[in-house]
């Protein structure tokens, strides 16, 4: 309770006060949205619901212990090999695939997320951007995308073409920022029951990767200074407080996600050869069979993939998530009835697994059971609102149901999220024309069309 009071007071102190110059919550939200839109245009975001849901689950477990906050936190995964994670004003949390592949335990990921959430709660980046009075939101967004994409070609190109390199150092957190984030993050992490030694292990991994500085600067090193000293600081906190570890994550959940990330971001043909070679040495390793199965599925060798996944399920009968993977491969192979047989049981047992529900809705859609599909789509609408593919298939569903106005509305969302404003605007106009007059969406669309017209007139 003592720590809860202390950290609640810290949060209240960080709130903007009259005469205190700080980014408004509205501008924080706009900045986060700009960065998100740019990353989508770069095709840099992982769209796999299972990967995103895993990161979000870890985040939500920690968020339950951080107290009041400005924004609903949202989690994203970036396709980039560097060891990086970043929190933006507005509650946007980004984790790189490189970090997910490198960690050995969920406690390590939890440590990074807790630290990033602490930066948001203390509003460190918002304060730094506010100090750069000439840095508008667009320039800040470009600079941050360069940081988020690490030292890769995309990140370098964005930073150089925008002339944003000069602001990169100014956006880096100070040692005082890091000390506060370490302190707050430690509190969040231990309150959630995680082992805080996991964050130290991540820091050690980052230090071992310092060789990358010869060519590319990993963002986490650039924006989080004093790493070696902070390891000592965290070790002293653990020694002093001796926190109890009350949560033991299932190691197979992390390993499953890491294999999914690897298959998403690497050449499937190379992976098939690699997994086959490894299986010659360790034929009883279920995760090697799992990696081979997903790689084969990516190459559309579905029969072989199903065979490998069946082996995994036989080896790990208590790990139901692999059954979900089997359903996914059946769906990709066009074997919708087989996929539904698995998914209906899975969703009944795990009703909170929204990715599984979406896949089940897609099965219903493909088998023309449109009403069942519609029920699930409507249920998931709020949770999947920011996923372009959801709106694409929702639009197709409405089209099949002869609801053209709603179909155009969903397609407008799809193209807007994909960054094609011109096509999105076309579908928005069509939605307005085709929706019945009594539909409440018409007034919302009219407002959007008017705002778009005003922007065009100003130009």
Which tens digit of pLDDT belongs to each residue from 45-61? 999 999 999 999 999 99
Confidence check: pLDDT of 19 > 60: no
Work out the pLDDT band at 90, boundaries 50, 70, 90.
confident
| Nearest CA-CA partner of 34 in 144, 141, 128 | 141
Confidence check: pLDDT of 195 > 50: yes
Share of the chain above pLDDT 70, in %: 82
Confidence check: pLDDT of 338 > 90: yes
Work out the pLDDT band at 112, boundaries 50, 70, 90.
very high
> What gap in Å lies between CA 253 and CA 322, rounded to an integer?
10
Whether 342 and 327 have beta carbons less than 8 Å apart is answered as: yes
> What gap in Å lies between CA 341 and CA 334, rounded to an integer?
14
Handedness of CA 275, 277, 280, 282 (dihedral sign): negative
**Structure letter (DSSP) for residue 444:** H
- Residues 230-244 have a mean pLDDT of 92
Work out the pLDDT band at 396, boundaries 50, 70, 90.
very high
Confidence at residue 254, expressed as pLDDT on a 0 to 100 scale? 97
What is the residue-averaged pLDDT of the chain? 85
> What gap in Å lies between CA 117 and CA 11, rounded to an integer?
12
Most confident of 37-51, 194-208, 373-387: 373-387
Work out the pLDDT band at 15, boundaries 50, 70, 90.
very low
Q: Within 10 A of 329 (CB to CB), how many other CB atoms are there?
A: 21
How many Cα atoms within 13 Å fall on the side-chain side of residue 60? Answer: 7
Share of the chain above pLDDT 90, in %: 61
Q: pLDDT tens across 115-124, in order? A: 999 988 888 7
How many Cα atoms within 13 Å fall on the side-chain side of residue 128? Answer: 22
Work out the pLDDT band at 135, boundaries 50, 70, 90.
low
Work out the pLDDT band at 33, boundaries 50, 70, 90.
confident
CA angle 299, 304, 310 (to 5 degrees): 125
Confidence at residue 316, expressed as pLDDT on a 0 to 100 scale? 96
Confidence at residue 36, expressed as pLDDT on a 0 to 100 scale? 86
Confidence check: pLDDT of 226 > 90: no
Whether 210 and 159 have beta carbons less than 8 Å apart is answered as: no
Identify the burial level of 224 via C-beta atoms within 10 angstroms of its C-beta, where 0-12 means exposed, 13-18 middle and 19 or more buried. buried
Whether 160 and 214 have beta carbons less than 8 Å apart is answered as: no
Confidence check: pLDDT of 451 > 60: yes
Q: What is the 3-state secondary structure (H, E, C) of 21-89?
A: CCCCHHHHHHHHHHHHHHHHHCCCECCCHHHHHHHHHHHHHHHCCCCCCCCCCEEEEECCCCCCEEEEC
- Looking up tokens 């941050």 gives 144
Confidence at residue 280, expressed as pLDDT on a 0 to 100 scale? 97
Residue 248 token pair: 């033991």
């Amino acid at each position: 309770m003592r720590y809860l009071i202390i950290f609640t007071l810290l949060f209240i102190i960080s709130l903007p006060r009259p005469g205190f110059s700080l980014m408004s919550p509205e501008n924080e939200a706009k900045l986060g949205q700009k960065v998100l839109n740019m990353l989508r245009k770069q095709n840099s975001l992982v769209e796999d619901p299972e990967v995103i849901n895993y990161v979000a689950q870890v985040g939500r477990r920690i968020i339950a212990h951080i107290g009041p906050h400005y924004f609903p936190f949202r989690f994203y995964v970036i396709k980039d090999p560097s060891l990086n994670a970043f929190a933006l004003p507005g509650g946007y949390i980004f984790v790189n695939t490189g970090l997910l592949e490198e960690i050995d335990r969920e406690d390590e990921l939890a440590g990074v997320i807790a630290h990033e959430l602490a930066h948001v709660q203390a509003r460190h980046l918002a304060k730094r951007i506010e100090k750069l009075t000439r840095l508008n939101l667009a320039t800040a967004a470009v600079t941050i995308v360069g940081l988020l994409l690490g030292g890769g070609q995309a990140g370098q190109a964005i930073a150089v073409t925008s002339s944003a390199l000069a602001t990169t150092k100014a956006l880096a957190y100070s040692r005082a920022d890091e000390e506060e984030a370490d302190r707050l993050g430690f509190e969040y992490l231990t309150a959630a029951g995680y082992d805080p030694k996991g964050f130290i292990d991540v820091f050690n991994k980052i230090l071992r990767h310092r060789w990358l500085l010869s060519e590319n600067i990993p963002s986490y090193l650039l924006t989080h200074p004093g790493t070696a000293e902070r390891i000592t600081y965290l070790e002293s906190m653990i020694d002093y407080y001796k926190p109890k570890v009350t949560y033991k994550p299932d190691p197979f959940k992390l390993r499953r996600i890491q294999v999914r990330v690897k298959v998403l971001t690497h050449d499937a043909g190379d992976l098939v050869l690699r997994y086959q070679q490894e299986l010659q040495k360790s034929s009883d390793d279920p995760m090697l069979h799992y990696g081979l199965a997903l790689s084969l599925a990516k190459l559309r060798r579905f029969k072989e993939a199903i065979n490998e996944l069946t082996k995994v399920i036989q080896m790990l009968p208590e790990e139901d998530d692999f059954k979900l993977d089997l359903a996914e491969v059946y769906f990709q192979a066009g074997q919708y009835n087989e996929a539904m047989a698995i998914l209906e049981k899975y969703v009944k047992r795990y009703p909170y697994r929204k990715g599984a529900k979406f896949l089940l809705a897609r099965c219903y859609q493909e088998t023309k059971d449109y009403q069942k599909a519609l029920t699930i789509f409507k249920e998931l609408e709020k949770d999947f609102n920011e996923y372009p593919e959801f709106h694409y298939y929702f639009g197709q569903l409405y089209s099949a149901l002869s609801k053209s106005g709603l179909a155009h509305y969903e397609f407008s969302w799809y193209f807007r999220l994909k960054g094609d404003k011109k096509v999105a605007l076309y579908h928005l106009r069509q939605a307005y024309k085709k929706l019945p007059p009594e539909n409440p969406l018409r007034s919302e669309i009219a407002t959007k069309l008017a705002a778009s017209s005003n922007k065009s007139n100003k130009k």
